[in-house]
A and B are shown apart, each in its own frame.
Chain A
Amino acid sequence: MYVVCIIRVIMVSSSMSRVMCVSAAAGVLSSSVEQKIYVELNETVPCVRLLNATHQIGCQSSISGDTGVLHVLETESDLDWILSSGPHPPYMVIMETAFFNRSVMMRMKNSSRVAGVAVIVSKTGLADNFSPHTTCPNQNTGVYSASYGSDLANCNVTMWNPLGNGLSYEDFAFPVFALKDENQTQVIRKCYQDHNLRVNGSAPQYPLCAMQLFSHMHAATDTVTCMRRTDLQNRFSINPEVLCDPLSDFNVWTSTRPLNNSAKGHAANESVVIAATRLDGRSFFWEQAPSAEGTVSGIVTLLATIQALSPVTQEAPPPRNIFFSFFQGEAFDYIGSSKMVYDMERNDFVIDLNNVHSMLEIGQVGLRRGRSLWMHSDPVSRQNKSVDTEVSEEERKLSLFSHALSLDQPSVSQPLPPSSFQRFLRVRGIPGLVLADHNTSFNNRYYESLYDDAENLNVTYPPDLSPDEQLVYETDAAKSLAEVATLVARSLYIQAGGEKKNLNNITADPKIWFLHQHVSDCVRLLWFLGSGPPQFYIGLGPRIHGPVHSVTRFVQYILANLTGTVTNLTESQCQNPSEVNTENKDLFSYFWVSGPASVNNTGEPFCRSASVRLSKAVSPAFELLEYGSPNYSIIPQSRWKSIRARIFPIFKYCPLLTNHTSMESFRKWTLMTGFVVQGHKWTCL
């Protein structure tokens, strides 16, 4: 056994070297040594880089990780220590929730002493509001522009998200991770308290606890550059590196009367009322988007509407078809709705814009708290007389049912809030309304953030309920959404020309509120949703558990359960229904599902047919190869090789290599040494 001293130099701009002396039998290092040094942190969530036409947003780390001495940011004096007075820069900041705001993050961004930030995600110390989104969401891809309602564009009249601090759209040169697991945070705190605490105002001594974060992103600059470089790699490189991927997933749609999926373009004799909502959300961190008020309230309301309508529309179908659509990717400049409108324009969808009679969209409706529901409409298209009449009719029909809740109209000069309906208006002046619980600005104080969760919607259960009992308990939030759903269902029925006598049978069931907690027993999915609340980030399509995002699959199967019929096909027939004469693959899709487990039912699988379909939700700009397009969403997500975090102790002080300038001089010396050695070799010729 002999002792081998190895100098490991981490060759990045803002790191320090470690001198690691290990005992090695015959010079072979085993990985158990690594386990004795590093503590891997598994429950962390990174912030990743996204691009748009002109900028890069998000966070970037160095290629072999950013290392810094741990310091917990709890007070203002900690901030001074990190930014100016601490003697061991660069620091890795463990940020308490209260300090995760714009002013602190901008100071971190401008400082060279910060190697990275790990944010503790908890409710203690959470400010009254936190929205990392912009103040005017999707302002450049909506309907209002210099040529359409120019005085309404760019939120001149109404600032929809005044509490937004825009952090999600800033570019950080250091990694930012979120620490979601309380046990892991305790480990980090303990390491900090054992080694890094200041004693009586004097600086802590080595050994110090340090953390290393890896989140090196491949993409840079903007979308045009990234796609060009990916293209160059694919054409000329032996081992092509893909730098970024467009955000893509699927929209979910269904209709009360089945539409022929193989007949694209204008559908003869079809007049359609579209009822829409969004299916996604986002936050500062990757794949985290609980989006309770922002998204789930709309999804649940529309699902309850569909459930309320489906028996009546089977018995007494209204003259017009009702087309329900859940749009994916709306947080990123309306990916799903712009794709559907694009397909409709090119006759590549089951219906086209001439089939559309009117539209009703459900926006954020969860924070009503007994107050009014607002009907937003577009003042510019209402300048056209016929459109105005139709919209007023639609409002009147909604107002017919305002017994349980009151309906209000915003002032006539107020524009539409950010909504998928705006993408339809860009192409055609369709009469339509957007329902929301807010008048001039969002009631949601945590819009598109990690904290927009069930607690934000006041979903609370009495403490003594079991999870199964919670599934069927009617919370106030559920009752409120059920009222909205009943209103929407009845007015959609009337809007579609149905008869008034059937209206009393249309009522939404408050028990449909289950999206937050568990999978309902009524729909046993083939894919397991995972522990914890579902996250609504659009992502890139193929997932670990299947080719489609789990939430999209979830909504698809719920819809199949609510609107479909049970068939007695076998499994192979279910997968190839065209072989069976009685079934029609063009009108229905077939799902092989297992039944509910109950006393008299063993949960045997069966085949369900429903007119529920998925349609691709990827921005048309990526199909048209116009990567700088101002008309469509061009937001790709960067690729990366590895994302991880670990903490370890630093034992020895290496004065040569502790900051940028010393690293440069080290490199210079190495280069000089190399030249001297080479020169000596030549002189011996």
Chain B
Amino acid sequence: MNLERIPNEEKLGLSRRYYLGGFAFLPFLWLVNVLWFFREAFLKPTYTEQPQIKSYVKKSALGLIVWVAVLTTWITIFQHFRAQWGEVGDYLSFTIPLGTA
């Protein structure tokens, strides 16, 4: 989709939908929001809807950073300690590697 040919109200609506959709445990929507509307929000000359788009992009970026931090922490802990957790580790795992602890 090329943002150049869309009227500004539709751009605002898109950004809002991506922002709200990200709350349904969908951080990739926030990632797309940030990357897609970054130029619109910060690099284009000012227009009416731009401040709102800018706020949506900033809030999406914040939510994204929180998600990345939480996921990275959990993944690191799980990968490091799964073997030591024994039974709990096995019940939490979807696939358990064969032949190793």
Q: Which 7 A-B pairs have the closest CB atoms?
A: A218-B98, A217-B99, A221-B101, A220-B101, A220-B100, A218-B99, A682-B35
* Given A682-B35, A685-B35; A229-B90 close (CB under 8 Å): yes
B86 CB–A CB distance under 8 Å: yes
A219 CB–B CB distance under 8 Å: yes
Pick 22 A–B contacts, CB within 8 A, sort by A: A60-B99, A63-B99, A216-B98, A216-B99, A217-B99, A218-B99, A219-B99, A220-B98, A220-B99, A220-B100, A220-B101, A225-B90, A228-B90, A229-B90, A232-B91, A232-B96, A241-B98, A243-B98, A638-B99, A682-B35, A685-B1, A685-B36
Q: Kindly list 18 other residue pairs between chains A and B, CB separation below 8 angstroms, not including A60-B99, A216-B98, A219-B99.
A: A63-B99, A216-B99, A218-B99, A220-B99, A220-B100, A220-B101, A221-B101, A229-B90, A232-B90, A232-B91, A232-B96, A243-B98, A638-B99, A682-B35, A683-B35, A685-B1, A685-B35, A685-B36
Contacts of B91 in A (CB 8 A): 232
- Nearest to B35 among chain A residues (CB) is A682
Contacts of B1 in A (CB 8 A): 685
Docked Cα-Cα span, A683 to B35, in Å, equals 8
Q: Mark A224-247, 1 if CB is under 8 A from B, else 0.
A: 010011001000000001010000
Q: Mark B1-43, 1 if CB is under 8 A from A, else 0.
A: 1000000000000000000000000000000000110000000
Per the 8 Å Cβ criterion, residues 242-280 of A in contact with B are 243
Contacts of B86 in A (CB 8 A): 225
Q: Mark B68-101, 1 if CB is under 8 A from A, else 0.
A: 0000000000000000001100110000101111
**Nearest CB in chain B: distance from A533 CB, A:** 32
- Taking a contact as CB atoms closer than 8 A, the residue among B35, B36, B98, B101 that contacts A63 in the complex is B98
Docked Cα-Cα span, A584 to B1, in Å, equals 86
- Nearest to A228 among chain B residues (CB) is B90
Docked Cα-Cα span, A60 to B98, in Å, equals 11
Contact-size category for B: 10 to 19
Q: Mark A650-685, 1 if CB is under 8 A from B, else 0.
A: 000000000000000000000000000000001101
Docked Cα-Cα span, A217 to B1, in Å, equals 51
Interface of B is mostly: loop
Residues on B lying within 8 angstroms of A by beta carbon are 1, 35-36, 86-87, 90-91, 96, 98-101
Contacts of A243 in B (CB 8 A): 98
Per the 8 Å Cβ criterion, residues 191-239 of A in contact with B are 216-221, 225, 228-229, 232
Docked Cα-Cα span, A228 to B90, in Å, equals 8
**Nearest CB in chain B: distance from A416 CB, A:** 37
**Nearest CB in chain A: distance from B38 CB, A:** 10
**Nearest CB in chain A: distance from B99 CB, A:** 5
Contacts of A232 in B (CB 8 A): 90-91, 96
Docked Cα-Cα span, A228 to B96, in Å, equals 11
- Give the one of B1, B35, B99, B100 with max A CB within 10 A: B99
Docked Cα-Cα span, A225 to B93, in Å, equals 13
Assess the B99–A229 pair: CB atoms within 8 A.
no
Docked Cα-Cα span, A559 to B85, in Å, equals 51
Docked Cα-Cα span, A535 to B99, in Å, equals 27
- Give the one of B35, B36, B98 with max A CB within 10 A: B98
**Nearest CB in chain B: distance from A279 CB, A:** 31
Docked Cα-Cα span, A217 to B87, in Å, equals 20
Docked Cα-Cα span, A652 to B52, in Å, equals 61
Assess the A229–B96 pair: CB atoms within 8 A.
yes
- Nearest to B36 among chain A residues (CB) is A685
Contacts of B96 in A (CB 8 A): 229, 232
- Nearest to A232 among chain B residues (CB) is B90
**Nearest CB in chain A: distance from B92 CB, A:** 11
**Nearest CB in chain B: distance from A508 CB, A:** 49
Contacts of B98 in A (CB 8 A): 63, 216, 218, 220, 241, 243
Contacts of B87 in A (CB 8 A): 228
Docked Cα-Cα span, A294 to B96, in Å, equals 40
Docked Cα-Cα span, A217 to B101, in Å, equals 12
Docked Cα-Cα span, A225 to B98, in Å, equals 12
**Nearest CB in chain B: distance from A92 CB, A:** 20
Docked Cα-Cα span, A682 to B34, in Å, equals 11
Per the 8 Å Cβ criterion, residues 546-584 of A in contact with B are none
**Nearest CB in chain A: distance from B84 CB, A:** 11
**Nearest CB in chain A: distance from B79 CB, A:** 15
Per the 8 Å Cβ criterion, residues 48-66 of A in contact with B are 60, 63
- Nearest to B98 among chain A residues (CB) is A218
Contacts of A682 in B (CB 8 A): 35
Contacts of B90 in A (CB 8 A): 225, 228-229, 232
Docked Cα-Cα span, A219 to B36, in Å, equals 48
